[in-house]
Each structure stands twice: as structure tokens, then as C-alpha cells.
């Protein structure tokens, strides 16, 4: 199985650079602006896009992404509407991979078989579901792989060499290394520690390794991109979006450009990492 994620990462490897993976929450701050941001991300420099599935009780997300989920849910976001957003995006963008990131509860309620069929039909390429451990692979991971979707697993600083093979067993697309011990957006990654961790993971797998949690600036992105195959940015983009909202959480004409300007800056950082 070769997916859009595999193809994109292989192309970037041939170019000698890492991928910029950008995160936004579906429906934040409202359905219309969220779709505008999604459509603008590839042109701004995003190589792959993580689309958060809004959920009331996240376990890995920090305050910024928690608040973005709350704004989206307040605006009526659902899993079905998230899939519709991907379907609309795919009408004029066929190359950029879309990865849905979130938690198992909404998928379980939606129905696993129906979710996988609808996600594939909409144009989703991969899943990150952070609260399903490898011991539960039969629940969603294996059916997703069978449906032709990558199932991307997180490894963390506390995932030791004994645990790592289990984490990697059915992982595909890439490995998402969490650069800090904690929730999203709460600490700055140590590039040297990341380099050691990426090397350790690559000792167990041939999959690319993308690094996220705590990357906020072009300088951060450049430092991580020199060590890893991908750089994931979420909370910083959500904060840029939030900075344009009024007291009621409504966006305006500056909301899309606030996000895309930061993505362009991050993309420059990633692209210059291995030429510096």
C-alpha cells in the first residue's frame, strides 16, 4: 500500500528536506473560516495537514488546542462535518495528505466501519488516535490499515527500547515523536535531545520520523528539521488564529492570513534547515 503520505515523504526525501506538517482544528473558529484556512495551507507551505477532530475531553492537547476544540464544538462541529470539510478540500487539492488526529470516542460513536469507509471516500490519508494503545490494534488500527489508511502512532521520551517495538509494530506513514514530556504547546523542544531520540527510533524502523509538540517559530522549525524527517506545528498556529478573534471568539478578515503568514515563516525555516 502506497499512500499520499508515503509519496509526499518520499518526494521530500529526494529533495533533501523535511516536511512541514501543520495542525488545525476542524471548525475553528467557525466552519467557513476553518475551510478557508485548510484550503490556504498548501500554498502557504504546508506539506501535510493534520486536521483535529474536535472532542470535549482530550488527553494530549494543551490549553490552546483544547480551546480550539471548544470553539469548534460551540460552532456546531461534528465528525461528519469534519469529513465533509475534507471532501470539499479534495475538490481542488489532490496532492496534500490529510491526517485526522483525535480520540477514539467520537469514532466509536460514529461507527468504526462507517467512519473508515467515509474517511477514505472523503480523501483522508491517515489517522492519529492518541488514546488507543497497540494492545487495542484490532479495534481501529488494523481495520484502518485494511481500508488503505495509514495509522500513525506517537512515541514519546518515555517510550523505552523495550516498549518501542510494540508501538512501531503496525505504525505506517511515519512515526510521530513527541518532543517533550507533557501536553501540546507547553515547552520548547531540545534539538540535541530530539536528534538522539530520532536516531534511537530509526534504529528500530525504516519509517520517517516527524517531531512535534512545542515548535513555535521558524528557528524552532529549522532546528528540528535538521534532525528529523518532519516538523509538526499546532499550538502556535492555533494561537495565531486566536489572536485575531473578538471577545465572542469570532474571526475576521485577518484570521486566515494570521495563520498562513506563520506557516510561510515556518516553511522557510524547514526549507533552509539542511542548507544552512
Check pLDDT > 70 for residue 187: no
Beta strands in the chain (DSSP E): 19-25, 48-52, 98-102, 126-129, 150-151, 154-155, 175-178, 209-212, 230-233
Which residue out of 50, 137, 229, 239 is catalytically annotated? 50
Check pLDDT > 60 for residue 43: yes
Q: Is the distance from CB of 252 to CB of 244 less than 8 angstroms?
A: yes
Which residue out of 61, 118, 220, 239 is catalytically annotated? 61
Annotated active-site residue 84? The verdict is no
Annotated active-site residue 229? The verdict is no
Which residues fall within 8 angstroms of residue 131, CB to CB, at 6 or more apart? 59, 103, 104
Q: What is the pLDDT of residue 57?
A: 83
Q: What is the distance between the alpha carbons of residues 233 and 196, in angstroms, rounded to a whole number?
A: 20
Domains (range + CATH), the chain: 4-272 (3.20.20.70)
84-117 pLDDT tens trace: 999 999 999 999 999 999 999 999 999 999 999 9
Question: How confident is the model over 204-224, as a mean pLDDT?
Answer: 93
Q: What is the distance between the alpha carbons of residues 229 and 227, in angstroms, rounded to a whole number?
A: 7
- Edge-first strand order for the sheet with 154-155 is 150-151, 126-129, 98-102, 48-52, 19-25, 230-233, 209-212, 175-178, 154-155
Burial string for 210-226 (b: 16+ CB within 10 Å, else e) reads bbbbbbbebebbbbbbb
More confident residue, 228 or 274: 228
Check pLDDT > 60 for residue 122: yes
What is the model's pTM? 0.94
CB atoms under 10 Å from CB of 29, counted, come to: 26
Check pLDDT > 80 for residue 2: yes
Amino acid at each position: 500500500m502506497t499512500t499520499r503520505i508515503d509519496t509526499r515523504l518520499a518526494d521530500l526525501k529526494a529533495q533533501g528536506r523535511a516536511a512541514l506538517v501543520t495542525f488545525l482544528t476542524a471548525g475553528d473558529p467557525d466552519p467557513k473560516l476553518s475551510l478557508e484556512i485548510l484550503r490556504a495551507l498548501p500554498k502557504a507551505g504546508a506539506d501535510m495537514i493534520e486536521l483535529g477532530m474536535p472532542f470535549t475531553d482530550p488527553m494530549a492537547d494543551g490549553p490552546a488546542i483544547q480551546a480550539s476544540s471548544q470553539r469548534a464544538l460551540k460552532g456546531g462541529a461534528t465528525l461528519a462535518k469534519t469529513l465533509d470539510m475534507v471532501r470539499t478540500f479534495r475538490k481542488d487539492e489532490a496532492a496534500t495528505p490529510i491526517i485526522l488526529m483525535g480520540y477514539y470516542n467520537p469514532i466509536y460513536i460514529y461507527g468504526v466501519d462507517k467512519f473508515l469507509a467515509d474517511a477514505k471516500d472523503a480523501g483522508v490519508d491517515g489517522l492519529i488516535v492518541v488514546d488507543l494503545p497497540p494492545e487495542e490494534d484490532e479495534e481501529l488500527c488494523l481495520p484502518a490499515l485494511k481500508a488503505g489508511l495509514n495509522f500513525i502512532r506517537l512515541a514519546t521520551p518515555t517510550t523505552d527500547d523495550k516498549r518501542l517495538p510494540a508501538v512501531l509494530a503496525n505504525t505506517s506513514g511515519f512515526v510521530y515523536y513527541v518532543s517533550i514530556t507533557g501536553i501540546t504547546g507547553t515547552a520548547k523542544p531540545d534539538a540535541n535531545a530530539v536528534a538522539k531520540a530520532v536516531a534511537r527510533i530509526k534504529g528500530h524502523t525504516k519509517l520517517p520520523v516527524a517531531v512535534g509538540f512545542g515548535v513555535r517559530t521558524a528557528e524552532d522549525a529549522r532546528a528540528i528539521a535538521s534532525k528529523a524527517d518532519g516538523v509538526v506545528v499546532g499550538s502556535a498556529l492555533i494561537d495565531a488564529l486566536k489572536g485575531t478573534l473578538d471577545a465572542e471568539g469570532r474571526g475576521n478578515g485577518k484570521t486566515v492570513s494570521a495563520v498562513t503568514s506563520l506557516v510561510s515563516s515556518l516553511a522557510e525555516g524547514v526549507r533552509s534547515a539542511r542548507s544552512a
